[in-house]
Chain A
Amino acid sequence: MEVQTPSTLFQTGILSPPVTTGSLEAFVGNTPLVLLRRVTAHLPAAVQVFAKAEWFNPGGSIKDRPALNILRVALAEGKLGKGKRLLDSTSGNMGIAYATFGAALGIPVTLVVPANASPERIAILKALGAELILSDPSEGSDGAIRIARQLAVEYPERYYYANQYDNPANWQAHYCTTGPEIFHQTRGCVTHLVAGLGTSGTLIGAGRYLREVSSKVQLVAVQPSSPFHGLEGLKHMPTAIRPGIFDESLIDLTIPVETEEAYQMVRRLAKEEGLFVGISAGAAAVGAIRVAERLESGVVVTIFPDAGYKYLSEKALWGFQDPVSS
């Protein structure tokens, strides 16, 4: 795979020091790295597991990083502006990030979303002013991708097709922000990066950076154990449309996670760590702890992509029927 230097991204300024005052975009990244304590109590003292708390981003998820970078690169290259609409398919979080910064920067956004996206996500997207095209829920994310591709071909004057699965600005955002943040926050001691695979942008981008600065870092992918699963946002790569940015050669280990164990971990993280996170964070924690259990010493970093708010309607996840009355 040809790897291009993400110079455009540096020029557009996403890699910036922490700020306290500024435009919305200035608050993307520089998220906290939280030490897990109680769910890791069985591990040796010399093994630490940290989670990157990505819901601290303004749009509420890790997707702020790639969405903002994709927008900035497209603007810098003249592919957006003059009313042209940003078009992409999304399971929700990337769409929320596009819609957030689209609203802030005055760029109209059109999203193809499977019709079974949670009502919370659809409501957020509408509130942010995005135009939604709902795709057949039986066809899943791949069905949404196919519709977005078709629209991009049919209406090239109307849309800029951002194509998060194949757009190098996706992984480059993590190469320039997530990776360096992890390295500095662990004072260069990170030994393992464990992340779920959706577009694969997080693991490929942050992992590529960490490999360059520390060849010892192991890169571990978490993915659903089977093609039919409840790990929203994560892809079962062997049976899905393979993202163009996915570079399997970088990955040292892939850990399959069952939906049920991720659900259980989501509940534990809330009750035992005070971390109210989403389903993919639960899966990432399962993978990170599984890696940590094999170590005598090490610093394992994982990524918690979002908070639990958007999953409150998933009754089976929380173990109660009605979040209000139960």
Chain B
Amino acid sequence: MAIIRIPTPLRPYTNGQSELTVAGETVGQVLENLVQQYPALRTHIFNENGELRPFVNLFIGENNVNDLQGVATPVEDNDRILLIPSIAGG
């Protein structure tokens, strides 16, 4: 089970929760399980083809998963996955 940190703009879709524990052996599986638990998140994270939207940045620790194996990056128990928004305003 990985721990995924939800950024402020998405917390309205997770009943206000900032951290969730989600099953999955890869980043992609964790995200799929996440959006099954919270369906309103899906359109914010995936496009209509089921691909990650281009601005969705995911980190495991300090590492951007795009620099690892993307959504195929393996996830260990208790890994912390950060879902990072872009920076708004000024």
A contacts, CB < 8 Å to B? 63, 89-94, 114, 116-117, 137-143, 164-165, 198-199, 201, 224, 226-236, 239-240, 243, 259-260, 263, 315-317
Contacts and interface: CB of A to CB of B under 8 A. Distances in A.
A268 to B, nearest CB: 16
B84 A138 contact: yes
A239 B86 CA distance: 14
Interface stretch (B26-34, B51-59, B71-79): B51-59
Nearest to B6: A138
Nearest to B85: A140
A263 B90 contact: no
Contact of A91 (B57, B84, B90): B90
B88 A233 contact: yes
A228 B10 contact: yes
A34 B50 CA distance: 38
B8 A139 contact: yes
Nearest to A317: B54
Given A89-B90, A315-B66, 4 more contacts: A138-B6, A198-B88, A227-B10, A233-B89
Contact of B18 (A90, A138, A141, A231): A138
Chain B contact-residue range equals 20 to 34
Interface of B: 5-10, 12, 18, 43-45, 47, 53-55, 57, 66, 82-90
Given A259-B55, A316-B54, A91 B10 contact: no
A16 to B, nearest CB: 24
A224 B88 CA distance: 10
A164 B54 contact: no
B88 A260 contact: no
Contacts of A93: 90
23 contacts: A91-B90, A92-B87, A94-B90, A116-B85, A137-B85, A138-B5, A140-B87, A143-B8, A164-B90, A165-B90, A198-B88, A198-B89, A201-B90, A228-B7, A228-B45, A230-B53, A230-B54, A230-B55, A230-B86, A231-B86, A232-B88, A234-B88, A316-B55
A140 B18 CA distance: 13
A94 B90 CA distance: 6
A317 B89 CA distance: 19
